[in-house]
Amino acid sequence: MHSRYLGSVSEDTARLLVVDDEPALRQALRSSLEFEGYQVVTVADGQTALGELAREPYDAVLLDVMMPRMDGLTACRRLRHGGNHVPVLMLTARDAVGDRVSGLDAGADDYLVKPFELDELFARVRALLRRSALSAPVSGSVLVFDGLRMDTASREVTRDGRRLDLTRTEYLLLELFLAHPRQVLTREQILSQVWGFDFEPSSNSLDVYVMYLRRKTEAGELPRLIHTVRGVGYVLRATP
């Protein structure tokens, strides 16, 4: 499957794939995104989306959850299993934390609950594109803290020798913590570095991703490394 990073691609030339089974919404999203300067292709289901992504490179995918033939969660899982790490924004009518976690489990980078304002959609797309550019594989160093190891060249992350499979956003979040061990990072600092300036400090996206990252780094009852600093943010430190 094709995938590409945006190190040399500006936002206004980015190619987006919109996947939704509602014709009116597909057309509305296409028109709105094209007006913003994006190149947009639309398809009606997950199965067709996988075929399109296998043929052509895209910079981000807007993927509905509930669709015929193949739902968005299944499509996202198959996309990731096939090695395609194109940024995925999941569109869903369900707002429960469990539903959001299911989307993250499937490999999505972010989620947006329907109905949504176009301005928020545009902001999240911009954030996805920025994160994609920042996460392009580059040669670099190895970050290590208390059994947690990140190779920034291969993008391989392990804890006590066990490999952790992280989404792009999880990787960037953990990389930020590893670059600043034992340093309290405010919500504003984290949101600015990982999500960009389009997110408010009150956004629960950060809390959901920290929860999800903890589940992966603490598997097997390993001690917690990412700690909450109430009213401030988070810190990477060893558990006493």
- Interval 100-113: pLDDT, tens: 778 877 888 888 88
Decide which of 94, 117, 134 is a domain's last residue.
134
pLDDT band at 4 (very low <50, low <70, confident <90, very high): very low
Residue 119 in any domain: the answer is yes
Assess whether 162 and 126 both reside in one domain: no
The confidence score (pLDDT) of residue 199 equals 55
Average pLDDT over residues 27-44: 96
Q: Is the pLDDT confidence value at 50 over 70?
A: yes
Between 140 and 161, the more confident residue is 161
Contact by Cβ (8 Å): 17, 64: no
Residue 204: give the domain boundaries.
Answer: 142-236
Q: Which of 134, 158, 183 is the last residue of a domain?
A: 134
Mean residue pLDDT of the chain comes to: 86
Give a yes or no: residue 64 inside a domain.
Answer: yes
Residue 221: HSE in the Cβ half-sphere, 13 Å Cα cutoff: 0
93 and 205 housed in the same domain:
no
Q: What is the CATH number of the domain that holds 23?
A: 3.40.50.2300
Could you give the number of structural domains in the chain? 2
- Mind listing the pLDDT tens digit for each residue in 177-230? 998 999 999 998 888 788 765 555 456 888 999 999 999 999 988 999 999 999
Is residue 230 situated within a structural domain? Answer: yes
Residues 103 and 196 in one domain: no
Burial zone of 73 (CB within 10 Å; 0-12 exposed, 13-18 middle, 19+ buried): buried
Percent of the chain whose predicted confidence (pLDDT) is above 70: 88
